[in-house]
Copies of this chain bind each other. A is one copy, B any other.
Amino acid sequence: MQGLDYFFKARSVAVVGASTKPGKIGHEILRSLVEGDYKGNVYPVNPRAEKILGLRCYGSVLEIPDEVDLAVLSIPPKAVLKVVEECGKKGIKAIVIVSGGFKEIGPEGAEIERKCVEIARRYGMRIIGPNCIGIFDGDTRIDTFFQSRERMLRPPKGDIAFLTQSGTFGCAFLEWAAEDGIGISKFVSYGNRADVDEADLIRYLGGDPETKVIAIYAESISNGRKFMETCKEISKLKPIVVLKSGRTKEGSMAAVSHTGSIAGSYKIISSAFKQCGVVEVRTFEELYEVSKALSMLPLAAGPRIAMVTNGAGPCVMATDEIIQRGMKLAEYSEKTKKELRRQLPSYAQVGNPVDLTGSATVRDYEISIRTLLEDLSVDILMVFFVFQDTPLGEEVVHLVPKMKKYGKPIIAVAAGGPFTKKQSQELERRGIPVFSSPERAVAAAHALYLAAEYFCR
Protein backbone atom coordinates (compact mmCIF):
# COMPACT_ATOMS: atom_id res chain seq x y z
CA MET A 1 0.00 0.00 0.00
CA GLN A 2 1.13 3.52 -0.67
CA GLY A 3 -0.15 7.09 -0.78
CA LEU A 4 -3.92 7.38 -1.00
CA ASP A 5 -4.36 3.60 -0.74
CA TYR A 6 -4.30 4.10 3.03
CA PHE A 7 -7.66 5.83 2.75
CA PHE A 8 -9.52 3.40 0.52
CA LYS A 9 -7.84 0.14 1.51
CA ALA A 10 -7.32 0.89 5.20
CA ARG A 11 -7.08 -2.36 7.17
CA SER A 12 -8.03 -0.60 10.39
CA VAL A 13 -9.74 2.66 11.30
CA ALA A 14 -9.78 4.77 14.45
CA VAL A 15 -12.82 7.03 15.00
CA VAL A 16 -11.64 9.93 17.13
CA GLY A 17 -14.54 11.69 18.81
CA ALA A 18 -16.73 8.58 18.80
CA SER A 19 -19.84 9.43 20.77
CA THR A 20 -22.11 7.26 22.89
CA LYS A 21 -25.18 9.20 21.75
CA PRO A 22 -27.10 7.97 18.70
CA GLY A 23 -27.71 10.81 16.27
CA LYS A 24 -24.41 12.54 17.11
CA ILE A 25 -21.98 12.74 14.21
CA GLY A 26 -19.23 10.93 16.17
CA HIS A 27 -21.63 8.09 16.92
CA GLU A 28 -23.02 7.71 13.43
CA ILE A 29 -19.59 7.55 11.75
CA LEU A 30 -18.68 4.68 14.03
CA ARG A 31 -21.98 2.98 13.30
CA SER A 32 -21.43 3.24 9.53
CA LEU A 33 -18.10 1.45 9.90
CA VAL A 34 -19.30 -1.15 12.39
CA GLU A 35 -22.73 -1.99 11.07
CA GLY A 36 -21.82 -1.78 7.37
CA ASP A 37 -19.85 -4.22 5.24
CA TYR A 38 -16.39 -2.96 6.15
CA LYS A 39 -14.21 -5.93 7.19
CA GLY A 40 -11.27 -4.17 8.92
CA ASN A 41 -10.81 -3.38 12.61
CA VAL A 42 -12.54 -0.34 14.06
CA TYR A 43 -11.36 1.49 17.20
CA PRO A 44 -13.50 4.15 18.87
CA VAL A 45 -11.47 6.86 20.62
CA ASN A 46 -13.21 8.71 23.46
CA PRO A 47 -11.54 9.24 26.83
CA ARG A 48 -14.87 9.49 28.63
CA ALA A 49 -16.46 6.23 27.45
CA GLU A 50 -15.82 2.56 28.17
CA LYS A 51 -17.57 0.96 25.27
CA ILE A 52 -19.56 2.18 22.24
CA LEU A 53 -21.60 -0.15 20.03
CA GLY A 54 -19.96 -3.06 21.84
CA LEU A 55 -16.41 -1.93 21.05
CA ARG A 56 -13.80 -1.02 23.67
CA CYS A 57 -12.99 2.68 23.70
CA TYR A 58 -9.51 4.18 23.85
CA GLY A 59 -8.41 7.43 25.48
CA SER A 60 -6.31 8.39 22.46
CA VAL A 61 -5.04 6.78 19.25
CA LEU A 62 -1.74 6.16 21.07
CA GLU A 63 -3.48 3.69 23.38
CA ILE A 64 -4.71 1.46 20.55
CA PRO A 65 -2.64 -1.73 20.78
CA ASP A 66 -2.73 -2.60 17.05
CA GLU A 67 -1.62 -0.88 13.88
CA VAL A 68 -4.01 1.76 12.50
CA ASP A 69 -4.05 2.89 8.85
CA LEU A 70 -6.74 5.56 8.93
CA ALA A 71 -8.13 7.98 11.52
CA VAL A 72 -11.51 9.69 11.11
CA LEU A 73 -11.84 12.83 13.25
CA SER A 74 -15.07 14.30 14.52
CA ILE A 75 -13.85 16.69 17.22
CA PRO A 76 -13.86 20.46 17.77
CA PRO A 77 -11.25 22.38 15.72
CA LYS A 78 -9.34 23.41 18.81
CA ALA A 79 -8.70 19.76 19.71
CA VAL A 80 -7.56 18.77 16.22
CA LEU A 81 -3.87 19.72 16.29
CA LYS A 82 -3.08 17.54 19.29
CA VAL A 83 -4.87 14.56 17.73
CA VAL A 84 -3.13 14.96 14.37
CA GLU A 85 0.22 15.00 16.18
CA GLU A 86 -0.78 11.79 18.02
CA CYS A 87 -1.84 10.17 14.75
CA GLY A 88 1.63 10.92 13.41
CA LYS A 89 3.29 9.36 16.44
CA LYS A 90 1.06 6.31 16.14
CA GLY A 91 2.21 5.79 12.54
CA ILE A 92 -1.21 6.39 11.04
CA LYS A 93 -0.95 7.20 7.32
CA ALA A 94 -4.28 8.78 6.47
CA ILE A 95 -6.64 11.18 8.23
CA VAL A 96 -10.19 12.23 7.35
CA ILE A 97 -11.32 15.34 9.24
CA VAL A 98 -15.11 15.44 9.12
CA SER A 99 -15.53 18.39 11.52
CA GLY A 100 -16.18 21.91 10.27
CA GLY A 101 -15.09 25.20 11.81
CA PHE A 102 -11.89 25.75 9.81
CA LYS A 103 -11.08 27.88 6.76
CA GLU A 104 -14.76 28.31 5.94
CA ILE A 105 -15.30 30.42 9.08
CA GLY A 106 -12.27 32.73 8.70
CA PRO A 107 -8.53 33.30 9.30
CA GLU A 108 -8.42 31.62 12.69
CA GLY A 109 -9.82 28.39 11.26
CA ALA A 110 -7.53 28.67 8.24
CA GLU A 111 -4.53 28.86 10.57
CA ILE A 112 -5.47 25.61 12.36
CA GLU A 113 -5.90 23.96 8.95
CA ARG A 114 -2.44 25.12 7.86
CA LYS A 115 -0.86 23.75 11.03
CA CYS A 116 -2.64 20.38 10.61
CA VAL A 117 -1.08 20.01 7.19
CA GLU A 118 2.34 21.03 8.53
CA ILE A 119 2.18 18.28 11.15
CA ALA A 120 0.88 15.76 8.61
CA ARG A 121 3.76 16.51 6.19
CA ARG A 122 6.24 15.98 8.99
CA TYR A 123 4.92 12.46 9.56
CA GLY A 124 4.22 11.61 5.92
CA MET A 125 0.47 11.56 6.53
CA ARG A 126 -2.24 12.72 4.11
CA ILE A 127 -5.41 14.54 5.13
CA ILE A 128 -8.85 14.58 3.44
CA GLY A 129 -11.16 17.40 4.58
CA PRO A 130 -11.83 19.13 6.91
CA ASN A 131 -15.52 20.04 6.66
CA CYS A 132 -16.66 17.01 4.69
CA ILE A 133 -18.44 13.68 4.94
CA GLY A 134 -15.30 11.71 4.08
CA ILE A 135 -14.83 8.62 1.98
CA PHE A 136 -16.52 5.50 0.67
CA ASP A 137 -15.04 2.60 -1.27
CA GLY A 138 -17.33 0.34 -3.28
CA ASP A 139 -15.01 -2.63 -2.83
CA THR A 140 -13.58 -2.44 0.73
CA ARG A 141 -16.81 -0.73 1.89
CA ILE A 142 -14.86 1.83 3.96
CA ASP A 143 -17.63 4.24 4.91
CA THR A 144 -17.07 7.31 7.10
CA PHE A 145 -20.56 8.80 6.67
CA PHE A 146 -22.55 10.20 9.55
CA GLN A 147 -25.62 9.63 7.38
CA SER A 148 -27.17 6.46 8.74
CA ARG A 149 -28.16 3.55 6.52
CA GLU A 150 -31.79 4.13 7.49
CA ARG A 151 -31.55 7.55 5.86
CA MET A 152 -29.03 7.04 3.08
CA LEU A 153 -28.59 4.11 0.71
CA ARG A 154 -25.10 2.92 -0.18
CA PRO A 155 -24.47 1.99 -3.84
CA PRO A 156 -22.94 -1.27 -5.06
CA LYS A 157 -19.38 -1.60 -6.30
CA GLY A 158 -18.90 -0.23 -9.79
CA ASP A 159 -16.84 1.94 -12.05
CA ILE A 160 -17.78 5.58 -11.35
CA ALA A 161 -15.61 7.60 -8.94
CA PHE A 162 -17.21 10.72 -7.48
CA LEU A 163 -15.21 13.56 -5.93
CA THR A 164 -17.14 16.39 -4.34
CA GLN A 165 -16.59 19.53 -2.35
CA SER A 166 -20.19 19.30 -1.19
CA GLY A 167 -21.25 16.46 1.06
CA THR A 168 -24.86 17.22 0.19
CA PHE A 169 -24.36 16.52 -3.51
CA GLY A 170 -22.38 13.47 -2.40
CA CYS A 171 -25.38 12.06 -0.55
CA ALA A 172 -27.69 12.58 -3.52
CA PHE A 173 -25.23 11.08 -6.03
CA LEU A 174 -24.69 7.96 -3.90
CA GLU A 175 -28.41 7.42 -3.40
CA TRP A 176 -29.36 7.98 -7.02
CA ALA A 177 -26.67 5.47 -8.00
CA ALA A 178 -27.92 2.98 -5.41
CA GLU A 179 -31.50 3.29 -6.65
CA ASP A 180 -30.44 2.91 -10.29
CA GLY A 181 -28.17 -0.04 -9.51
CA ILE A 182 -25.20 2.00 -10.68
CA GLY A 183 -21.90 1.13 -9.02
CA ILE A 184 -19.33 3.39 -7.41
CA SER A 185 -15.60 2.61 -7.26
CA LYS A 186 -14.51 5.38 -4.90
CA PHE A 187 -16.15 8.39 -3.34
CA VAL A 188 -14.47 11.37 -1.71
CA SER A 189 -16.11 14.37 -0.09
CA TYR A 190 -13.07 16.63 0.27
CA GLY A 191 -14.62 19.79 1.74
CA ASN A 192 -12.02 22.46 2.48
CA ARG A 193 -9.30 20.40 0.79
CA ALA A 194 -6.52 21.35 3.23
CA ASP A 195 -4.10 18.74 1.86
CA VAL A 196 -5.32 16.10 -0.64
CA ASP A 197 -6.76 18.06 -3.56
CA GLU A 198 -8.75 17.19 -6.66
CA ALA A 199 -5.61 16.78 -8.79
CA ASP A 200 -4.12 14.27 -6.31
CA LEU A 201 -7.35 12.32 -6.40
CA ILE A 202 -7.68 12.46 -10.20
CA ARG A 203 -4.14 11.12 -10.60
CA TYR A 204 -4.82 8.36 -8.11
CA LEU A 205 -8.09 7.41 -9.84
CA GLY A 206 -6.34 7.56 -13.21
CA GLY A 207 -4.28 4.59 -12.07
CA ASP A 208 -7.19 2.82 -10.39
CA PRO A 209 -8.34 -0.17 -12.48
CA GLU A 210 -11.74 -0.12 -10.74
CA THR A 211 -12.52 3.38 -11.99
CA LYS A 212 -13.81 3.99 -15.52
CA VAL A 213 -15.28 7.48 -15.13
CA ILE A 214 -14.25 10.35 -12.81
CA ALA A 215 -17.05 12.74 -11.83
CA ILE A 216 -16.38 15.91 -9.85
CA TYR A 217 -18.39 18.66 -8.17
CA ALA A 218 -16.03 21.59 -7.47
CA GLU A 219 -16.57 25.06 -6.08
CA SER A 220 -12.98 26.01 -6.82
CA ILE A 221 -9.80 24.41 -8.12
CA SER A 222 -6.93 24.44 -5.61
CA ASN A 223 -4.02 24.67 -8.04
CA GLY A 224 -4.96 25.46 -11.60
CA ARG A 225 -1.71 24.42 -13.24
CA LYS A 226 -1.48 21.11 -11.38
CA PHE A 227 -5.17 20.43 -12.10
CA MET A 228 -4.79 21.10 -15.82
CA GLU A 229 -1.66 19.02 -16.23
CA THR A 230 -3.22 16.14 -14.38
CA CYS A 231 -6.44 16.28 -16.38
CA LYS A 232 -4.57 16.53 -19.68
CA GLU A 233 -2.87 13.27 -18.84
CA ILE A 234 -5.74 11.37 -17.25
CA SER A 235 -8.43 12.38 -19.76
CA LYS A 236 -6.55 10.25 -22.29
CA LEU A 237 -7.20 7.27 -20.05
CA LYS A 238 -10.75 7.84 -18.81
CA PRO A 239 -13.40 10.57 -19.00
CA ILE A 240 -13.35 13.35 -16.40
CA VAL A 241 -16.69 15.13 -15.91
CA VAL A 242 -16.82 18.33 -13.88
CA LEU A 243 -19.64 20.45 -12.49
CA LYS A 244 -18.24 23.81 -11.43
CA SER A 245 -20.28 26.14 -9.25
CA GLY A 246 -19.42 29.64 -8.11
CA ARG A 247 -19.86 30.94 -11.66
CA THR A 248 -21.06 34.36 -10.57
CA LYS A 249 -19.37 36.72 -8.11
CA GLU A 250 -22.12 36.06 -5.59
CA GLY A 251 -21.95 32.30 -6.12
CA SER A 252 -18.23 32.33 -5.57
CA MET A 253 -18.71 34.30 -2.37
CA ALA A 254 -21.15 31.63 -1.21
CA ALA A 255 -18.42 29.08 -1.95
CA VAL A 256 -16.01 30.97 0.34
CA SER A 257 -18.26 30.53 3.34
CA HIS A 258 -19.11 26.96 2.37
CA THR A 259 -15.64 25.48 1.84
CA GLY A 260 -13.29 28.45 2.16
CA SER A 261 -12.79 28.29 -1.61
CA ILE A 262 -12.03 31.22 -3.86
CA ALA A 263 -13.68 30.34 -7.12
CA GLY A 264 -11.77 32.45 -9.64
CA SER A 265 -13.08 33.63 -12.98
CA TYR A 266 -15.56 31.14 -14.33
CA LYS A 267 -14.90 31.99 -17.97
CA ILE A 268 -11.20 31.27 -17.61
CA ILE A 269 -11.81 28.05 -15.74
CA SER A 270 -14.43 26.88 -18.23
CA SER A 271 -12.09 27.42 -21.16
CA ALA A 272 -9.27 25.70 -19.24
CA PHE A 273 -11.54 22.68 -18.82
CA LYS A 274 -11.87 22.38 -22.59
CA GLN A 275 -8.11 22.65 -23.06
CA CYS A 276 -7.32 19.89 -20.62
CA GLY A 277 -9.93 17.38 -21.72
CA VAL A 278 -12.55 17.90 -19.02
CA VAL A 279 -16.21 17.37 -19.98
CA GLU A 280 -18.02 20.23 -18.29
CA VAL A 281 -21.68 19.88 -17.27
CA ARG A 282 -24.11 22.55 -16.11
CA THR A 283 -26.31 21.02 -13.44
CA PHE A 284 -25.99 18.38 -10.78
CA GLU A 285 -28.51 16.09 -12.45
CA GLU A 286 -26.50 16.38 -15.65
CA LEU A 287 -23.33 15.44 -13.73
CA TYR A 288 -24.97 12.29 -12.44
CA GLU A 289 -26.63 11.25 -15.68
CA VAL A 290 -23.69 12.04 -17.94
CA SER A 291 -21.42 9.99 -15.64
CA LYS A 292 -23.89 7.12 -15.78
CA ALA A 293 -23.97 7.23 -19.59
CA LEU A 294 -20.18 7.33 -19.80
CA SER A 295 -19.93 4.30 -17.55
CA MET A 296 -22.53 2.29 -19.48
CA LEU A 297 -21.88 3.14 -23.12
CA PRO A 298 -19.14 3.06 -25.74
CA LEU A 299 -17.76 6.49 -26.73
CA ALA A 300 -19.16 8.14 -29.86
CA ALA A 301 -17.18 8.09 -33.08
CA GLY A 302 -18.69 11.41 -34.16
CA PRO A 303 -21.33 14.05 -33.41
CA ARG A 304 -24.14 12.79 -35.71
CA ILE A 305 -27.28 11.81 -33.82
CA ALA A 306 -30.23 9.84 -35.18
CA MET A 307 -33.55 9.73 -33.35
CA VAL A 308 -36.49 7.35 -33.45
CA THR A 309 -39.72 7.84 -31.51
CA ASN A 310 -43.40 7.10 -31.09
CA GLY A 311 -44.10 10.66 -29.87
CA ALA A 312 -42.09 13.51 -31.34
CA GLY A 313 -42.49 16.40 -28.83
CA PRO A 314 -39.34 15.53 -26.87
CA CYS A 315 -37.47 15.14 -30.19
CA VAL A 316 -38.25 18.78 -31.03
CA MET A 317 -36.72 19.80 -27.67
CA ALA A 318 -33.78 17.45 -28.29
CA THR A 319 -33.21 18.91 -31.76
CA ASP A 320 -32.91 22.40 -30.29
CA GLU A 321 -30.41 21.12 -27.75
CA ILE A 322 -28.40 19.16 -30.35
CA ILE A 323 -27.97 22.29 -32.45
CA GLN A 324 -27.27 24.59 -29.50
CA ARG A 325 -24.51 22.25 -28.31
CA GLY A 326 -22.90 22.07 -31.73
CA MET A 327 -23.79 18.42 -32.24
CA LYS A 328 -25.36 17.32 -35.53
CA LEU A 329 -28.54 15.72 -36.84
CA ALA A 330 -27.50 12.63 -38.81
CA GLU A 331 -28.39 12.80 -42.49
CA TYR A 332 -29.27 9.30 -43.51
CA SER A 333 -28.03 7.66 -46.68
CA GLU A 334 -30.45 7.18 -49.58
CA LYS A 335 -30.32 3.45 -48.92
CA THR A 336 -31.46 3.97 -45.33
CA LYS A 337 -34.33 6.23 -46.31
CA LYS A 338 -35.47 3.82 -49.02
CA GLU A 339 -35.22 0.87 -46.68
CA LEU A 340 -37.19 2.62 -43.94
CA ARG A 341 -39.90 3.75 -46.35
CA ARG A 342 -40.14 0.26 -47.81
CA GLN A 343 -40.41 -1.56 -44.52
CA LEU A 344 -42.27 0.82 -42.22
CA PRO A 345 -46.07 1.26 -42.28
CA SER A 346 -47.48 4.31 -44.04
CA TYR A 347 -48.15 6.18 -40.77
CA ALA A 348 -44.41 6.44 -40.08
CA GLN A 349 -42.51 9.57 -41.07
CA VAL A 350 -38.97 8.94 -42.26
CA GLY A 351 -36.97 11.92 -41.07
CA ASN A 352 -34.79 12.71 -38.11
CA PRO A 353 -36.56 11.75 -35.90
CA VAL A 354 -38.06 8.70 -37.53
CA ASP A 355 -41.57 9.27 -36.15
CA LEU A 356 -43.42 6.01 -35.73
CA THR A 357 -46.40 7.84 -34.14
CA GLY A 358 -48.65 6.53 -31.37
CA SER A 359 -49.47 3.49 -33.53
CA ALA A 360 -45.87 2.26 -33.31
CA THR A 361 -45.24 -1.44 -32.74
CA VAL A 362 -42.15 -3.34 -31.60
CA ARG A 363 -41.54 -4.36 -35.21
CA ASP A 364 -41.47 -0.69 -36.27
CA TYR A 365 -38.84 0.04 -33.63
CA GLU A 366 -36.81 -3.00 -34.64
CA ILE A 367 -36.69 -2.03 -38.31
CA SER A 368 -35.83 1.58 -37.50
CA ILE A 369 -33.13 0.88 -34.92
CA ARG A 370 -31.41 -1.75 -37.02
CA THR A 371 -31.47 0.33 -40.20
CA LEU A 372 -30.24 3.50 -38.47
CA LEU A 373 -27.41 1.70 -36.68
CA GLU A 374 -26.30 0.12 -39.95
CA ASP A 375 -26.04 3.56 -41.55
CA LEU A 376 -22.45 4.84 -41.44
CA SER A 377 -23.67 8.42 -41.16
CA VAL A 378 -25.10 7.72 -37.70
CA ASP A 379 -22.74 7.98 -34.70
CA ILE A 380 -25.23 7.99 -31.82
CA LEU A 381 -28.79 6.65 -31.64
CA MET A 382 -31.38 8.22 -29.36
CA VAL A 383 -34.46 6.03 -28.91
CA PHE A 384 -37.49 7.85 -27.48
CA PHE A 385 -40.37 5.94 -25.96
CA VAL A 386 -43.91 6.78 -24.97
CA PHE A 387 -44.28 3.56 -23.00
CA GLN A 388 -47.78 4.71 -22.07
CA ASP A 389 -48.97 4.19 -25.66
CA THR A 390 -50.89 0.96 -25.61
CA PRO A 391 -50.10 -0.22 -29.17
CA LEU A 392 -46.41 -0.60 -28.20
CA GLY A 393 -45.63 -4.12 -26.94
CA GLU A 394 -43.81 -4.38 -23.62
CA GLU A 395 -41.17 -6.62 -25.19
CA VAL A 396 -39.60 -3.58 -26.84
CA VAL A 397 -37.31 -3.39 -23.77
CA HIS A 398 -35.82 -6.76 -24.73
CA LEU A 399 -35.22 -5.66 -28.29
CA VAL A 400 -33.15 -2.52 -27.77
CA PRO A 401 -30.30 -4.03 -25.72
CA LYS A 402 -29.71 -6.61 -28.48
CA MET A 403 -28.73 -3.72 -30.73
CA LYS A 404 -25.64 -3.00 -28.63
CA LYS A 405 -23.84 -5.38 -30.98
CA TYR A 406 -23.44 -2.55 -33.48
CA GLY A 407 -20.96 -0.91 -31.07
CA LYS A 408 -22.61 2.52 -31.22
CA PRO A 409 -23.96 4.33 -28.17
CA ILE A 410 -27.73 3.93 -27.72
CA ILE A 411 -29.47 6.36 -25.37
CA ALA A 412 -33.12 5.99 -24.39
CA VAL A 413 -35.54 8.73 -23.36
CA ALA A 414 -38.82 8.14 -21.50
CA ALA A 415 -40.79 9.94 -18.80
CA GLY A 416 -43.82 8.95 -16.78
CA GLY A 417 -45.17 6.99 -13.87
CA PRO A 418 -44.82 3.45 -12.50
CA PHE A 419 -45.20 1.54 -15.79
CA THR A 420 -42.69 3.78 -17.57
CA LYS A 421 -40.27 3.45 -14.64
CA LYS A 422 -40.55 -0.32 -14.72
CA GLN A 423 -39.82 -0.40 -18.45
CA SER A 424 -36.93 2.04 -17.99
CA GLN A 425 -35.42 -0.10 -15.24
CA GLU A 426 -35.61 -3.14 -17.50
CA LEU A 427 -33.70 -1.24 -20.17
CA GLU A 428 -31.08 0.01 -17.72
CA ARG A 429 -30.58 -3.46 -16.29
CA ARG A 430 -29.71 -4.52 -19.84
CA GLY A 431 -27.19 -1.72 -20.32
CA ILE A 432 -29.24 1.02 -22.00
CA PRO A 433 -29.35 4.23 -19.94
CA VAL A 434 -32.73 5.97 -19.86
CA PHE A 435 -33.17 9.70 -19.40
CA SER A 436 -36.38 11.46 -18.41
CA SER A 437 -35.19 14.73 -19.96
CA PRO A 438 -34.37 15.19 -23.66
CA GLU A 439 -31.84 17.90 -22.75
CA ARG A 440 -29.90 15.63 -20.42
CA ALA A 441 -29.99 12.82 -22.97
CA VAL A 442 -28.34 15.19 -25.46
CA ALA A 443 -25.87 16.27 -22.75
CA ALA A 444 -24.92 12.60 -22.42
CA ALA A 445 -24.54 12.21 -26.19
CA HIS A 446 -22.38 15.32 -26.22
CA ALA A 447 -20.19 13.94 -23.40
CA LEU A 448 -19.73 10.65 -25.28
CA TYR A 449 -18.50 12.64 -28.24
CA LEU A 450 -16.27 15.06 -26.27
CA ALA A 451 -14.68 12.29 -24.21
CA ALA A 452 -13.80 10.47 -27.43
CA GLU A 453 -12.25 13.62 -28.84
CA TYR A 454 -10.11 14.15 -25.74
CA PHE A 455 -9.17 10.51 -25.78
CA CYS A 456 -7.90 10.73 -29.35
CA ARG A 457 -5.97 13.96 -29.28
Q: Is A315 an interface residue (CB 8 A)?
A: yes
CB contact under 8 A between A175 and B417, given known A248-B319, A311-B166, A391-B24? yes
Residues in B with CB closer than 8 Å to A420 are 151, 175
Q: Is A20 an interface residue (CB 8 A)?
A: no
Q: Is A437 an interface residue (CB 8 A)?
A: yes
Which of B167, B250, B253 touches A386 (beta carbons < 8 Å)? Answer: B167
Taking a contact as CB atoms under 8 Å apart, the answer to whether B316 and A254 are in contact is yes
Q: Is A257 an interface residue (CB 8 A)?
A: yes
Within residues 341 to 377 of chain A, which ones have a CB less than 8 A from any CB in chain B? Answer: 347, 349, 351-353, 355, 357-359
CB contact under 8 A between A251 and B349, given known A25-B358, A28-B390, A312-B258? no
Taking a contact as CB atoms under 8 Å apart, the answer to whether A419 and B151 are in contact is yes
Residues in B with CB closer than 8 Å to A230 are none
CB contact under 8 A between A100 and B358, given known A179-B417, A322-B250? yes
Residues in B with CB closer than 8 Å to A146 are 358, 389-391
Residues in B with CB closer than 8 Å to A79 are none
Q: Which residue of B lies closest to A311 (CB)?
A: B168
Within residues 419 to 456 of chain A, which ones have a CB less than 8 A from any CB in chain B? Answer: 419-420, 436-439
Q: Is A235 an interface residue (CB 8 A)?
A: no
What distance in Å separates the Cβ of A172 from its nearest Cβ neighbour in chain B?
4
Within residues 14 to 36 of chain A, which ones have a CB less than 8 A from any CB in chain B? Answer: 23-25, 28
Q: Whole-angstrom distance between the alpha carbons of A400 and B219 in the complex?
A: 29
Q: Is A139 an interface residue (CB 8 A)?
A: no
Residues in B with CB closer than 8 Å to A217 are 313
The residue among A176, A178, A312 with the most chain B CB atoms within 10 A of its own CB is A312
What distance in Å separates the Cβ of A358 from its nearest Cβ neighbour in chain B?
7
Taking a contact as CB atoms under 8 Å apart, the answer to whether A133 and B358 are in contact is yes
Taking a contact as CB atoms under 8 Å apart, the answer to whether A150 and B284 are in contact is no
Q: Which residue of B lies closest to A419 (CB)?
A: B151
Q: Whole-angstrom distance between the alpha carbons of A253 and B349 in the complex?
A: 13
The residue among A23, A150, A179, A254 with the most chain B CB atoms within 10 A of its own CB is A254
Residues in B with CB closer than 8 Å to A247 are 320, 324
Taking a contact as CB atoms under 8 Å apart, the answer to whether B100 and A316 are in contact is no
Residues in B with CB closer than 8 Å to A311 are 166-168, 171
Residues in B with CB closer than 8 Å to A100 are 347, 357-358
Q: Is A86 an interface residue (CB 8 A)?
A: no
What distance in Å separates the Cβ of A15 from its nearest Cβ neighbour in chain B?
15
Q: Is A164 an interface residue (CB 8 A)?
A: yes
CB contact under 8 A between A169 and B313, given known A146-B358, A150-B419? yes
What distance in Å separates the Cβ of A151 from its nearest Cβ neighbour in chain B?
4
Residues in B with CB closer than 8 Å to A101 are 347
Q: Is A165 an interface residue (CB 8 A)?
A: yes
Q: Is A285 an interface residue (CB 8 A)?
A: yes
Q: Is A323 an interface residue (CB 8 A)?
A: yes
Q: Is A246 an interface residue (CB 8 A)?
A: yes
Taking a contact as CB atoms under 8 Å apart, the answer to whether A386 and B419 are in contact is no
Within residues 203 to 253 of chain A, which ones have a CB less than 8 A from any CB in chain B? Answer: 217, 219, 245-251, 253
Taking a contact as CB atoms under 8 Å apart, the answer to whether B152 and A315 are in contact is no
Q: Which residue of B lies closest to A106 (CB)?
A: B349
Q: Which residue of B lies closest to A346 (CB)?
A: B101
6 sample A-B contacts, Cβ–Cβ < 8 Å, listed by A number: A175-B417, A176-B417, A179-B418, A247-B324, A249-B323, A258-B316
Starting from the known contacts A166-B316, A178-B417, 10 additional A-B residue pairs (CB-CB under 8 Å) come to: A100-B347, A147-B389, A150-B419, A151-B387, A151-B390, A152-B388, A168-B313, A250-B329, A284-B317, A284-B438
